[in-house]
Amino acid sequence: MQATSALTLYRSTIGKKVIMAVTGLIGIGFLFFHMYGNLKIFLGQEYFNAYAEGLRELGAPIFIHGHLLFLMRVVLLAAVILHVWAAWSLWLKAHRARPQSYEMKRVVQANYASRTIRWGGLVVFFFILFHLAQLTWGVTNLPGGFDRTDPYSNVVAAFQSPLVVAFYLIALFALAFHLYHGTWSFIQTLGLLHKRWDRLVRLFALLMAIVIPGGLALVPISIIAGFI
Domain positions in the chain: 12-97+111-224
Predicted confidence at residue 194, as pLDDT, reads 63
**Over residues 69-96, mean pLDDT:** 85
Query: pLDDT higher for 220 or 91?
Result: 220
Decide: 87 and 185 in contact? Cβ < 8 Å: no
Query: pLDDT higher for 213 or 184?
Result: 213
**Over residues 111-119, mean pLDDT:** 57
Which range has the top average pLDDT, 7-11, 26-30, 201-205?
26-30
For residue 103, name the pLDDT band (cuts at 50, 70, 90).
very low
Query: pLDDT higher for 193 or 82?
Result: 82
Decide: 158 and 164 in contact? Cβ < 8 Å: yes
For residue 222, name the pLDDT band (cuts at 50, 70, 90).
very high
Predicted confidence at residue 226, as pLDDT, reads 93
- Examine the pLDDT at 3 and tell me if it is beyond 60: no
What are 143-201's pLDDT values in tens digits? 778 888 999 999 999 999 999 999 999 999 999 988 888 887 777 766 666 667 778 88
d(CA 185, CA 215) in angstroms, rounded, equals 23
- Hey, what CATH class is 12-97+111-224 in? mainly alpha
Query: pLDDT higher for 68 or 190?
Result: 68
Q: Which candidate, 113, 122, 120, places its Cα nearest to that of 84?
A: 122
Is the CA virtual torsion 154, 160, 163, 166 positive or negative?
Answer: positive
| Burial state string for 108-128 with b = 16 or more CB within 10 A and e = fewer than 16 | eeeeebbeebeebbebbeebe
Query: pLDDT higher for 167 or 132?
Result: 167
Decide: 210 and 155 in contact? Cβ < 8 Å: no
